[in-house]
Amino acid sequence: MTTMNRRDFSIATAAAAALMPLAGTAQAQGAFAPGKDYVVLGKPAPVDAPAGKVEVVEFFSYNCPHCAAFEPQLEAWIKTLPSSVVFRRIPVPFVGNDVEAKQKLFYTLEALGKVDAFQMKIFQAIHQERQRLFGDEAILAWAEKQPGLDAKKFAETYKSFAVAGKAKRATQMTDAYKVAGVPALGVAGRWYIDGELAGSLGRALQITEALIGQARKA
């Protein structure tokens, strides 16, 4: 399996799938079937992208080993996206017993403009270094030790109503896309893709590229 959901999972399989090379977009066009390779949402999900832009969202969890394995490939892929695509991340309300804390961690970093600097570092801390970043106290203690983070500002932001509100909206977006497992991708509020549907995370990115093309034509 290539996504982490509420059932058992295989770290080794996910890691191998995440490292598969991404095929060309031209090959991807027209090669995928709705209901088989991706899901067409019955009710469109909300989008934040401005008119004329295509929104792509990644659903993830810091607790998910599949998401950690996928991150390097995803970061490389994000850099190839054209200016007409708006990419954002959404931390899901499942995977582990401290999901709200992990959601607040992400939105605190986002508010401070530190996601790019710390996204991979957090995955490494949890899944490679085996640090116990579990719950509010541990996360705040971790932040105090990080060069490049203002610990006082981090703590204030982490405990803010704004961050709590974003965590709540992330849960609503997860429900709107009917996310079954992570990592997963959503396109234009209309389509949902994950590694299990696609067969691999590399192929999931190919499908996402094809759906971006469809959204541009709409």
In a domain, 1, yes or no: no
Is 60 exceeded by the pLDDT of residue 12? Answer: no
Range of the structural domain that residue 131 is part of: 30-193+200-212
Pick the more confident residue, 26 or 184.
184
DSSP type of residue 45:
P
Q: Average pLDDT for residues 47-59, to the nearest whole number?
A: 96
Is 50 exceeded by the pLDDT of residue 55? Answer: yes
CB atoms within 10 A of CB 12: 9
In a domain, 20, yes or no: no
The predicted pLDDT at position 218 comes to 76
Q: How sure is the predictor about 26, in pLDDT bands with cuts at 50, 70 and 90?
A: very low
Q: How sure is the predictor about 10, in pLDDT bands with cuts at 50, 70 and 90?
A: very low
Starting from the edge strand earliest in sequence, which strands make up the sheet with 184-187, in order?
Answer: 39-40, 191-194, 184-187, 54-60, 85-91
The predicted pLDDT at position 204 comes to 97
For the entire predicted model, the pTM comes to 0.87
Q: How sure is the predictor about 5, in pLDDT bands with cuts at 50, 70 and 90?
A: low
Structural domain count of the chain: 1
In a domain, 18, yes or no: no
CATH number, domain containing residue 114: 3.40.30.10
Calpha distance 194→67 (Å, rounded): 11
The predicted pLDDT at position 25 comes to 39
In a domain, 116, yes or no: yes
Q: Which amino acid is it at 71? A: E
In a domain, 159, yes or no: yes
In a domain, 25, yes or no: no
DSSP type of residue 190:
T
In a domain, 8, yes or no: no
In a domain, 14, yes or no: no
Is 50 exceeded by the pLDDT of residue 202? Answer: yes
